[in-house]
Chains A and B, each alone.
Chain A
Amino acid sequence: MTNLDIFLWIIFPYISLTIFILGHIYRYNTDQFGWTAKSSQFLEQKRLRFGSTVFHWGIIFVFFGHVGGLLIPKLWFDTIGITDDMYHFGAIWFGGLAGLAVVIGGFFLFLRRVAVKRIVKNSSVSDYVALIMLGIVVLVGFTNTAGYTATGGSFDYRVTIGPWLREILTLRPSEGMVLAMAQAPIGFKLHVSLAFVLFAIWPFTRLVHVFSLPLKYLNRNYVVYRNIKPYHKTKVAEKKEIN
């Protein structure tokens, strides 16, 4: 276990996750106004339609694929009777298709962002950084699935990256799993490290809109009312009472 391994598979992930969590808390508390999906559909929608729809649905499936492959232990699949073959069939075909959707959709979104004048002029640096970083992570990840696993690669991330990630997330990294990570194929290593770079910049980009998916809407009455808070209930009044 070299120092580099310790840095890459213990120190850096924790730095990244810390920034991810604290960054979100900080931004949510200081920049509600900037916390949006930054939709640009109003300026251009013909080219957005395909790219945005395909990309977003793709990435939702990719997310659940990662949950299934990394966060849920292999043992669980074995217990309910999903064999390795069945799992890999699903991971390659469904995962591959979802990945392909993200790659194609993302490519269309990228083209739109660099080619449509209105969009170019109204994009911030963080928009480009987020899109390019996400694009790289997705491309490397997709290459792993399509170019390595699907062509018969023997590396099983479910017994290496999966347990390693669960250890990281449960705050008990072990030497064994760090070593396993160190021996993973370069594609997987790249994908994981770049993903943690992405997590570190996440709170400072438009990607925060992921956490604003308005599921509450489903369980709400249509018309929303707000009323002016009576004087005796405001914080200012409370402070005065204390003084």
Chain B
Amino acid sequence: MKIKAQFGMVMNLDKCIGCHTCSVTCSNTWTNRPGTEYMYWNNVETKPGVGYPKEWENNDEKKGGWHLKNGKLELKAGGKFSKLINIFYNKDLVEIDDYYEPWTYDYENLVNSPEKDHQPVARPKSQLTGEYMDITWGPNWEDDLAGAHETGKNDPNMRNLDEQIKFEFEETFMMYLPRICEHCQNPSCVSSCPSGAMYKREEDGIVLVDQDSCRSWRFCMTGCPYKKVYFNWKTNKAEKCTFCFPRIENGQPTICSETCVGRLRYIGIVLYDADKVLEAASVEDEKDLYEAQLGTFLDPFDPVIQKEAVKQGIPEDWIEAAQKSPVYKLAVEQKIALPLHPEYRTMPMVWYIPPLSPFMNALGGQVDSLSPDVIFPTINQFRIPIDYLASLFTAGDTGVIKKVLRKLVAMRTYMRAVQLNKPFDHSILEAAGMTEEVAEEMYQLSAIAKYEDRYVIPKSHREDSGDMFSHQGNAGFEFMEACRSCMGGGQEADPLEYYESGFWRELDESSPKGV
């Protein structure tokens, strides 16, 4: 057993109002530099829709993630040898136009324009060429289903649905899907990087790109099935969500979480057995991947695990944090959070509580003193089709989605009865596999959602790692433009100095595998 701690996030989609505050604050913090203006490390998509970049979920074509080849886990885009053969031209690369061509506006014209009969306008100008352009696609083109009657048909999650019907006005449905890098347990981007520039941090599982080692081979972008590794077209390097590691290390939530208006994000750590990951990612049936991933997580309350974790160097306060972790609670204890597209076999670590659709509406406003026989069948008639949610979160297994929705419905019905002092049919909770305590705990965590319950973030033990003073200012991207020697209190500090020599280490310490 090799115990690792891993940061994870859960987003409660029922509470997302699609305001894009997370995207904006993330962008202001990390991607307001030339070459990154098209990037949204955090973006919010309206589903159904093709998303950002277009059709990122269509991995039959985009070749992200892993698949089973002769029973063995292999990168979908091809193994190591095929990567080196194709290094001069990556045939599966997503182009910038699939995100969108970044633009600015000719604002000067508003000030400099001579007196005319008409108001001067600020015309859009491409940031790639500096020329005037017509805007035909943007970062959030399908916001609130805009144009989804056309683009929505290309949403891969619509494949199993009667799409004709679902785009009829009376039948339409939508939900928001905020997305960041999944910081996977089995990251296919890291595995696709020929230079070894991408790595997973052993202490907390955060996946990063070493800007100094990136050689512009661009396979990581294809490798990521969520298309969350971006290409800085000015510096020709890959960049991605950092899980705001400078904040996380200091015990603060990521900027997207901190500023989330709906307070729908949860951050915590889970302990997992790294030795089990490969096996779990290789299970034959895609529908078993969700359970398989749950199987890699370790119970932080188990004294045997605790003892072993301490022995393997995991700090005591991190084990405590794992016990209090909202991610562990939502994913493992309450089982209401689900991974996004487990079928990509990357073992993603940003999980989602599926949305419930307008709940009162489905029941015609009559939610008091209902029996399970009435409440649960309505789940099948919710506005957002179960099949659609299953396609997003369980590789098509509708049973799991139904179980989760039952729990959410049962919790609400129960709490409504409690708050209004109404009689309550306890068989509703039983049928959902819950007790009153669990319902109460779910309510506390999802509805009250106190700051300290949503974010249980143990501080990094940086006191053990070198001279922090010379490290000051080294965690951002400023070095790309600013004077390098200005950093670190006047002396040039090499971040890699603080890593083990050879600077990368492998999960399996036995002899490395060949092609």
What residues make up the interface of A, taking CB atoms closer than 8 Å to B? 32-33, 35-45, 48-49, 52-53, 55-57, 117-118, 121-122, 209, 212-231, 233-237
Neighbour of A52 across the interface among B84, B89, B233, B460, CB < 8 A: B89
5 contacts between A and B (CB under 8 A): A39-B217, A219-B512, A223-B187, A226-B499, A236-B467
B194 at the interface (CB under 8 A from A): yes
Given contacts A41-B90, A223-B187, A228-B462, contact A217 B236 (CB under 8 A): no
Check B498–A33 contact: CB distance below 8 A.
no
Give chain A residues whose Cβ lies under 8 Å from the Cβ of B80: 217-218, 220
Chain A residues with Cβ under 8 A from B465's Cβ? Answer: 228-231, 234
Stretch from B55-63, B208-216, B383-391 forming part of the interface with A: B208-216
Beta-carbon contact of B190 and A222 below 8 Å: yes
Write the nearest CB–CB distance from B60 to chain A, whole angstroms. 19
Interface flags, B473-515, vs A, CB<8A=1, else 0: 0000001100000000000000001111001111110001111
Cβ of B2 to closest chain A Cβ, rounded Å: 11
Cα-based distance from A38 to B217 in the complex (angstroms)? 9
- The complex places the Cα of A226 from the Cα of B501 at a distance, in Å, of 10
- Given known contacts A122-B233, A218-B515, is B84 in contact with A223 (CB within 8 Å)? no
B200 within 8 A of A: yes
Known: A37-B215, A230-B464, A236-B466. A223 touches B190 (CB 8 A): yes
Which residues of B sit under 8 angstroms from A38, Cβ to Cβ?
A: 216, 236
In angstroms, Cα B86 to Cα A48, docked, is: 13
**Could you tell me if B504 and A224 are in contact, using CB atoms closer than 8 angstroms?**
yes
Is A225 a contact of B504 with CB atoms below 8 Å?
Answer: yes
Chain A residues contacting B135 (CB-CB under 8 Å) are none
Chain B: how many interface residues by the 8 Å CB criterion? 70
Contacts of A57 in B (CB 8 A): 88
Q: Which one, B93, B198, B480, contacts A45 given CB within 8 A?
A: B93
B302, CB-defined interface residue at 8 Å = no
Indicate if the CB atoms of B201 and A225 lie closer than 8 Å: yes
The answer to whether residues A226 and B216 also contact, given A38-B236, A53-B88, A221-B512 and a CB cut-off of 8 A, is no
Q: Is the CB–CB distance between A228 and B203 below 8 Å?
A: yes
The residues of A that contact B93 with a CB separation of less than 8 Å are 41-42, 45
Which among B89, B203, B463 is the interface contact of A41 at CB below 8 angstroms?
Answer: B89
Which residues from chain B contact A225 at a C-beta distance below 8 Å?
Answer: 199-202, 504-507
Most interface-central of B91, B195, B498, B508 (chain A CB within 10 A): B498
Question: B88 and A52: CB pair below 8 A?
Answer: yes
Residues in A whose Cβ lies below 8 Å from that of B412: none
Q: How far does the Cβ of B505 sit from chain A's closest Cβ, in whole Å?
A: 5
Bound CA–CA A235/B470 (angstroms): 12
- Say yes or no: A42-B96 contact (C-beta < 8 A), given A52-B88, A212-B215, A227-B203: yes
Flag the segment in B24-32, B105-113, B125-133 that touches A. B125-133
Q: Is the CB of B218 within 8 A of A217?
A: no
With a CB–CB cut-off of 8 A, which chain A residues contact B233? 40, 42-43, 122
Chain B residues lying within 8 Å of A218, measured Cβ to Cβ, are: 80-81, 84, 514-515
Q: Judge if B83 is at the interface, Cβ distance under 8 Å.
A: yes
Q: Is the CB of A224 within 8 A of B196?
A: yes
Q: Are B467 and A221 in contact (CB under 8 A)?
A: no
B503 A226 Cβ-Cβ under 8 A: yes
Which of B194, B467, B497 lies in contact with A214, CB distance below 8 A?
B194
* Residues of A with C-beta under 8 A to B500: 226-227, 229, 233
Tell me which residues across on chain A come within 8 A of B81, comparing CB atoms: 218
Q: Contacts of A45 on B, CB cut-off 8 Å?
A: 89, 93, 95
**Which B residues touch A233, using CB under 8 A?**
500
Shortest distance between the CB of B43 and any CB in chain A (Å): 18
In the complex, are the beta carbons of A226 and B466 less than 8 A apart? no
The distance in angstroms between the C-alpha atoms of A38 and B215, with both chains bound, is: 8
**Contact with A217, one of B89, B96, B131, B194 (Cβ below 8 angstroms):** B194
Q: Are B84 and A234 in contact (CB under 8 A)?
A: no
Interface residue B234 (Cβ < 8 Å from any Cβ of A): yes
- The answer, yes or no, to whether B47 is at the interface (CB within 8 Å) is no
Is the CB–CB distance between A228 and B498 below 8 Å?
Answer: yes
Q: Nearest-CB distance from B65 to chain A (Å)?
A: 13
Contacts of B216 in A (CB 8 A): 36-39, 209
A37, B217: Cβ atoms under 8 Å? yes
Chain A residue, CB-CB nearest to B466: A234
Beta-carbon contact of B212 and A234 below 8 Å: no
Are B199's CB and A226's CB within 8 A? yes
Q: Which of A37, A48, A215, A234 contacts B497 (CB under 8 A)?
A: A234
**Cβ-closest chain A residue relative to B185:** A223
Complex CA gap A235/B198 in Å reads: 24
Which B residues touch A48, using CB under 8 A?
89
Q: Which residue of B lies closest to A60 (CB)?
A: B88
B231 lies within 8 A of chain A by Cβ: yes
Partner of B217, one of A53, A117, A214, A220: A214
